[in-house]
Structure formats: C-alpha cells, structure tokens
Amino acid sequence: MHSPEQAREWAIKGVNAHENGDIPGAIKAWQTSVALDPSDATTVNNLALLLKQQNHFRDAANLLEQGVEAAPDVAQLHYNLAVISELYLLDLDKALAHYQRYRALTADEDKLVAGWIADLERRLQ
C-alpha cells in the first residue's frame, strides 16, 4: 500500500507525539506512516533512531535495510545502518559496506567515517 498523503499525516502525528514525549505514540504513528510510504527516508530514519533508543537494535536495522531498498541514495540511512550494525549487532561486514556506501554518496570527505572504514577493514582482514 502506497499512500504518500496519508503517510505524511501519520508522519506529522509521529513528530508531534515525539515532541510531546509520547514515545509509544510516536513509534506507532511512524510505523503506520512507513507502512503507507516506505520510501519516506526521513520517517524511516526517525523511527529507526527511536527504535535504537529503545534498545530494539535488530528492528531498527531491519527498518533501515527496508529504507535503503526503497531509497538507496539516501546517505543517512546507510550511515545509521552502519553504526547500528557495527556497535550493536557486531555485523562488521554489513557495517563496512554501508559506511562505504555512505562515503560514496556524500560529497565531502568525512574523516571520522574514513577512519572507521580503515579500522573495520583492518579488523576484517
């Protein structure tokens, strides 16, 4: 089901709930929004970060993977998937691949990410 208009309404409800400290309400609204429009990278990213905050690392990573499929050129999705994969799921191969994709998508040379990539490459040898 792809309904961008309804998805936007749910995304706004999620933002409002989050701003009011209603974490379960924000999660529910953003899940509904993503179900209606999985290509909305901002809402996917917001929901994934909120799930990460709630220690739902696997759910956050799965959501980011879906987001990457729907919007493969959104650098921030790759970045957050890389961070969660490396630090919380200990999936270093996946982390490396998504850090590299993030770096390829961003014009500026992120020295911090470049260092993480070099570190992962050393660890994976």
Distances (CA, A) of 49 to 33, 39, 52, 55: 15, 16, 5, 10
Q: Are 3 and 37 in contact (CB under 8 A)?
A: yes
By CB neighbour count within 10 A (0-12 exposed, 13-18 middle, 19+ buried), where does 62 fall? middle
Give the whole-angstrom CA distance, residue 94 versus residue 85: 6
Q: Which two tokens stand for residue 21?
A: 């400290």
Q: Is the pLDDT of residue 1 over 60?
A: no
**4-23: per-residue pLDDT in tens?**
899 999 999 999 999 999 99
Q: What is the pTM of this model?
A: 0.89
**48-96: per-residue pLDDT in tens?**
999 999 999 999 999 999 999 999 999 999 999 999 999 999 999 999 9
Q: What is the mean pLDDT of residues 18-36?
A: 97
